[in-house]
Structure 1
Amino acid sequence: MSDTNTNRPSHRLFNVNGDGDNARWTDIGVAWATKDGKGYTLILNAIPVNGRIVMRTNDEKDTKKGS
């Protein structure tokens, strides 16, 4: 398993409700690739009960978060 305390997360996790311009994106956590590259370690700040979870690369300029 990767050391999640020293590395910047490679991905962010969002709960997405709706589609297209009407979609609501809520930031719910982060993810790191495992050392062996065969999976990801997830840290969730919330567990959605509806919608879908989308994992995107961690880009500081990502405008989807919170919109």
Structure 2
Amino acid sequence: MKKTETKAPALIAWHVREPKGGKAFWTRIGAAWQHQNGDGHTLQLDLYPMDGRVVLLPPKADEAMEGGAA
């Protein structure tokens, strides 16, 4: 049986919604992990936004310690 490790995500997925004339709302919606060969990422979304945009950013130190998606 193959041993499974939980790795910290390489990127955090954020949904960003910017209402007209208002402050942008950022909601964490998932995470991405780099493939072992370094050729890509696996994206896990816990929510699928219907509007706005998705931004992928490296995790901050406290987010990297969590290891999971949103």
Query: Where on the TM-score scale, by shorter chain, does this alignment land: which range?
Result: 0.7 to 0.9
- Within-5 A mapping of 1:54-65: 54-60=55-61
Q: CA deviation at 1:60?
A: 3.5
Secondary structure of the structure 1 residue equivalent to 2:48:
coil
Q: Output the CA distance in 2 between the equivalents of 1:35 and 1:7.
A: 11
Q: TM-score of the superposition, structure 2-length normalised?
A: 0.71
Question: Partner residue of 2:16?
Answer: 16
Distance, in Å, in 1 between the alignment partners of 2:15 and 2:32 is 14
Flag as ranges the 4+ runs of structure 1 deviating above 6 A.
none
Give the structure with the higher percent helix: 2
Number of equivalences: 58
- Over residues 5-60 of structure 1, what are the superposed CA-to-partner deviations in whole Å (9 max), with x where a residue is unaligned? 521111110000117x7110011001111111111111111000100000000114
Percent identity, aligned pairs only, is 34
Q: What amino acid maps onto 2:60 in structure 1?
A: D
In structure 1, list runs of 5 or more residues that go unmatched: 63-67
